[in-house]
Each structure stands twice: as structure tokens, then as C-alpha cells.
């Protein structure tokens, strides 16, 4: 079949480019102890791959769920909600208690809260939007502003030393690796991959809309809830690993939607992961090893993602 061959060719090109970028990331400029350097860079590479999967696939699932290619979980307040939970935990437990909580314990506390809150948030958004895209975006942005405002209020109430502790989690950082959180993220990535791949054909049907999905035998309500829970979990993993990256998923999905020969999820899921991983690994290679950390990858990603968002909005209007 021509579409499958072209899709396989596209995945092969992305895979080869990712392998080349990963090899360069691991070996470029190494002059000293190879064991130490490879171990250090290997952890970073695994972290970049995990974040690429979590952000890219969560955005793809969210766009499939909302039937719209310009929406992201971060745009509707998911990242702001997660950061608010971070500040609330810091406000309750203090700096000593916050820093003494292990990454696993913190994730066990935050992930269920994130899932419950995301279900309530999305149900509120979809109930009040009535299929109106402008109202959906506006309502989501209002929720995001509300979460950020409450977060700022708590920051003003806490001690400045506590604020300095919390500030490290407010911006995306691709240079440090938390091993415990990385192991959790890789486990979530593996389990979610098996679940999502098993439902790839139902995701294709879901893109046809609610009525068509129900008519074709899809349990629309249960599938929606499952997708929302995985989106919340993946957003929690990516934010816990590197911090908020609002427009990265939008940038990746826009590139994938432009390049893939069809909209089937058996192609779009691996393409989204490979594209996201290629952008992160090659970008970190440039900023960390070629430019000597004279730039910040997250700033460039957010800038490019914001431009892509504006372009998609204007293109949709046109």
C-alpha cells in the first residue's frame, strides 16, 4: 500500500536522524573519562526521550479528544494547575518538608490530584463550550490565569527563601536529571505506550466526532475518561522532570500533521515521539555542547511554539 510505504519511510527518516543526533549528543567533545561522561549524558538522553514522549503524545491525545489541532493541555491550564499544586505543597509543608519529600512520594501525592482536577477541569470546559472553539479556548485560558493568580498569591504569602525553593520548578530545565523521577517517567511511558497502541484504531474513530464514534461502537464516555487520565499523568511526568513547556507539544504536533501522509494514529503516535525526541535531543546538543550553554532551549521552544500557535489560529480563521 503506498500510504503505508510512505509512512514507513517517514518514520525511518525520523528514526535515522534521531539515532545520529543521539550519538552526537553522547560523544561530541568527549576528551576525558568516557565512563563518567557517557553515564552523565546517558541519563540526560533518557530524560529527553521521556519528556519528548510525555509532552508529544499527551498533546496528540488532547487534540484527538478535542478534535482540534491548535489546543494543548498547557493552553487550557494543565501546567498552571500542576505548578499551583507544587506551591500548595510547599506552603503546607515548608521548605524543609518540601525538600525532604522524595520524588516518588511527591509524585504519588501530585499525580492523583492532577488526574481528579483535570477531569473536573475538562468536564467544565466541554460542558460550557458547547462545541464553540473560541469559548473553549477562552474558558481554558481563564482557568489558567486563575491558577497562576492563586499561585502568585501563595508566593507572596510564603517566605522569600521558600519562594526561591519553589522557583526552580516554575521554568523548564533540560540540564538536571532526577533519577527517581526518571525511572517513574520511563515506567509511565512504557505502560502508556502499550495502552495507547492497543487503542490506536479507536482513536482514529474518535476523530470522527462523538455521534459517529458511538454509532461505530466506541464507548465514548469511558474512552474520554481514560484518555484524560493518561493526559494528566503524562503532563505530570513531563512537568515533574523538566518543568512546564506549554507550546512544545503544539509545535511537534503541527510538524507531524504537516509531514505525515495520513492521520492514522498507528503512524502519528510513533511520528510524534520521534519528532519530539529529535527536536529535544538536537536542540540540547546545540545549546549544551556547541554553544556552551549560552542559550536556553526552553525559551527557543516556547518562542517557536507561540509563533506556530498564532499561525495555526490565523490559518484556521482564513
> Is the Cβ–Cβ distance between 234 and 192 less than 8 Å?
yes
Task: Look at residue 271 and tell me whether its pLDDT is greater than 90.
Answer: yes
Planar angle of CA 285, 305, 317, nearest 5 degrees: 155
pLDDT at 311: 67
pLDDT at 272: 93
Of 159 and 55, more confident: 55
Task: Look at residue 318 and tell me whether its pLDDT is greater than 60.
Answer: no
pLDDT at 193: 92
Over residues 31-44, the pLDDT tens digits come to 777 777 778 788 88
Give the integer Cα–Cα distance in Å for 58 and 71.
11
The distance from CA 310 to its chain's CA centroid, rounded to whole angstroms, is 19
Helix axes 78-100, 220-242, angle to 10 degrees: 50
Give the integer Cα–Cα distance in Å for 24 and 18.
10
Pick the range with the lowest mean pLDDT from 54-63, 91-100, 144-153, 222-231.
91-100
The grid cell for 191 is: 505502560
Class of domain 45-78+102-126+179-317: mainly alpha
pTM over 0.75: yes
Task: Look at residue 274 and tell me whether its pLDDT is greater than 90.
Answer: yes
Query: Mean pLDDT across the stretch 305-310?
Result: 66
Over residues 260-270, the pLDDT tens digits come to 878 888 899 99
What's the whole-number average pLDDT of the chain? 77
- CA separation, residue 6 to residues 2, 65, 218, 259, 263 (Å): 6, 26, 29, 11, 13
**Helix, strand, or coil here: 149?**
helix
pLDDT at 38: 79
Pick the range with the lowest mean pLDDT from 58-67, 266-275, 297-306.
297-306
> Locate cell 469559548: which residue?
135
Give the integer Cα–Cα distance in Å for 157 and 153.
6
Query: Mean pLDDT across the stretch 88-116?
Result: 73
Task: Look at residue 52 and tell me whether its pLDDT is greater than 80.
Answer: yes
pLDDT at 130: 53
What share of the chain in percent tops pLDDT 70? 74
Task: Look at residue 54 and tell me whether its pLDDT is greater than 70.
Answer: yes
Over residues 195-218, the pLDDT tens digits come to 999 988 988 888 887 788 888 888
Any long-range contacts for 156-160 (C-beta under 8 Å, 24+ apart)? 157/91, 158/87, 158/90, 158/91, 159/95
Amino acid at each position: 500500500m503506498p500510504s503505508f510505504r510512505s509512512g514507513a519511510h517517514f518514520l525511518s527518516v525520523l528514526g535515522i536522524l534521531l539515532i545520529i543526533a543521539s550519538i552526537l549528543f553522547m560523544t561530541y567533545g568527549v576528551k576525558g573519562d568516557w565512563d563518567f561522561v557517557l553515564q552523565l549524558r546517558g541519563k540526560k538522553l533518557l530524560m529527553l526521550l521521556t519528556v519528548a514522549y510525555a509532552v508529544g503524545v499527551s498533546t496528540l491525545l488532547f487534540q484527538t479528544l478535542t478534535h482540534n489541532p491548535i489546543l494543548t493541555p498547557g493552553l487550557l491550564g494543565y501546567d498552571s494547575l500542576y505548578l499551583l499544586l507544587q506551591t500548595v505543597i510547599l506552603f503546607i509543608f515548608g521548605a524543609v518538608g518540601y525538600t525532604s519529600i522524595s520524588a516518588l512520594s511527591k509524585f504519588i501525592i501530585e499525580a492523583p490530584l492532577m488526574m481528579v482536577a483535570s477531569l473536573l477541569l475538562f468536564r467544565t470546559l466541554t460542558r460550557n463550550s458547547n462545541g464553540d472553539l473560541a469559548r473553549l479556548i477562552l474558558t481554558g485560558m481563564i482557568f489558567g490565569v486563575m491558577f497562576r493568580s492563586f499561585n502568585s498569591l501563595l508566593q507572596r504569602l510564603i517566605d522569600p527563601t521558600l519562594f526561591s525553593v519553589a522557583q526552580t520548578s516554575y521554568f523548564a530545565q533540560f540540564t538536571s536529571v532526577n533519577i527517581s523521577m526518571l525511572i517513574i517517567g520511563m515506567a509511565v511511558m512504557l505502560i502508556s505506550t502499550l495502552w495507547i497502541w492497543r487503542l490506536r484504531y479507536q482513536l482514529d474513530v474518535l476523530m470522527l466526532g462523538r455521534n459517529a464514534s458511538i454509532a461505530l461502537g466506541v464507548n465514548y464516555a469511558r474512552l474520554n475518561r481514560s484518555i484524560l487520565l493518561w493526559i494528566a499523568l503524562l503532563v505530570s511526568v513531563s512537568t515533574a522532570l523538566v518543568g512546564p513547556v506549554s507550546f512544545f507539544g503544539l509545535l511537534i504536533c503541527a510538524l507531524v500533521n504537516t509531514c505525515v501522509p495520513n492521520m492514522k494514529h498507528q503512524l502519528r503516535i510513533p511520528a510524534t515521539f520521534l519528532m519530539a525526541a529529535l527536536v529535544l535531543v538536537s536542540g540540547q546538543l546545540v545549546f549544551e555542547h556547541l554553544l556552551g550553554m549560552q542559550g536556553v532551549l526552553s525559551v527557543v521552544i516556547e518562542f517557536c511554539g507561540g509563533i506556530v500557535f498564532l499561525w495555526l489560529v490565523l490559518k484556521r480563521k482564513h
